[in-house]
Amino acid sequence: MKRPTMADIARRAGVSKVAVSYALNDQPGVSEATRASIKSIAEELGWRPNSAARALTGGRAQTVGLVVRRPARTLGVEPFFMEFISGVETVLAEHAYALMLQMVTDQEQEIEICRRWWGERRVDGVFLMDLQTDDDRVGAVREVGLPAVAIGPPDVAGGLPAVWSDDGESVREIVRYLAALGHRRIARVAGPAALAHTAVRDAALAEVCREAGVPAATVVHTDYTGDEGARAARALLIAPERPTAIVFDNDIMAVAALSVAQELGLSIPADLSVVAWDESPLTQVVRPTLSAVSRDIPAYGVRSATALLALIDGEDIDSIREGYAHFVPRGSTAPPPEPGRR
């Protein structure tokens, strides 16, 4: 479905494009009844009046969009987003494109923003981040013809080109390492359960624990913030059978857990091993340095932006697999404490 133009509105209203321009820009030259009719048709078709000039020329916006559905404070402190955006900007700058970024609180807002951006010709395409297992955004962008690249597993991308890494393999590498050290009580503080990559990690964790002969890991889902990560870690560590190793789905929560361990008088890694998901400056400035999974996040952004611009140019784009984030052991992992030590 192509996006609406002034010509579409003019045909529907039975008037000239000049009349449509007058009406949408609130200029004299048409009757009030005609103006009201044209505006009503424009709204019905999803066109917005503040993009009149661009709509007349049919030119590109030279902008792509990214809507992030997470707390705004997360963007400021979580390195993943800034590193991803730095990779995106590297490509956009080379092609004289800009990035339009907006934070929202729910999926309905995100869908409405994408539709508005497209209807107003503010963007030529968008990135869809944090794919959900059942994601209404996929159908929404396909319905209006908005070029989009999904950042996540292709099996939930609904046919959109996806840029993804195999999170399941990363989980398997972590658990096999912890099991080899002798850990039997492993827990994971995860992101939101509805996210597709969280579901991939959940499934892989259950599978690898069975394969390694390790009891099923305890999983606590959070919102990725430090506060929620600390709260989850505290609940796990004061339980009667506390874990000897905890894997955190981002670096912020892992760093927050170090303070919780200190609060409870636990030594890292003598009493508790900690693993962070995505290595970052945060994981390397704390003491001990955190064992983490490592990948080239700016390169992830580069490939995503390259794919989106190619899609905008009309190319057929296949999904791009980025391999997986490899586990890097550092100072926060060691064999579990001797039985009986608390």
**pLDDT tens profile 293-324:** 999 999 999 999 999 999 999 999 999 998 78
Q: Can you tell me the distance from the alpha carbon of 94 to that of 85, in angstroms, rounded to the nearest whole number?
A: 14
Per-residue pLDDT band for 51 (boundaries 50, 70, 90) equals very low
Decide if 253 contacts 191 (C-beta within 8 A). Answer: no
307: nearest Cα among 299, 295, 315, 298: 315
Q: What is the pLDDT of residue 339?
A: 74
13: nearest Cα among 51, 48, 42, 53: 42
pLDDT greater at residue 237 or residue 48: 237
Question: What's the chain's average pLDDT?
Answer: 90
**Percentage of the residues of the chain whose pLDDT score is greater than 70:** 92
User: pLDDT per residue over 88-111, tens digit each?
Assistant: 999 999 999 999 999 998 899 999
Q: Can you tell me the distance from the alpha carbon of 108 to that of 120, in angstroms, rounded to the nearest whole number?
A: 18
Residue type for position 244: T
Q: What is the pLDDT of residue 52?
A: 42
Q: Can you tell me the distance from the alpha carbon of 204 to that of 186, in angstroms, rounded to the nearest whole number?
A: 14
Q: Can you tell me the distance from the alpha carbon of 149 to that of 151, in angstroms, rounded to the nearest whole number?
A: 7
Q: What is the pLDDT of residue 76?
A: 64
Strand partners, 125: 64
Q: What is the pLDDT of residue 340?
A: 59
Tokens read off for 228: 């929620």
Q: What is the pLDDT of residue 126?
A: 98
Identify the three-state secondary structure at position 322.
Answer: coil
Q: What is the pLDDT of residue 60?
A: 84
Identify the three-state secondary structure at position 135.
Answer: coil
Decide if 115 contacts 138 (C-beta within 8 A). Answer: no
Tokens read off for 62: 């030279």
Question: Alpha carbon 295 to chain centroid distance?
Answer: 16
Identify the three-state secondary structure at position 169.
Answer: helix
Per-residue pLDDT band for 59 (boundaries 50, 70, 90) equals low
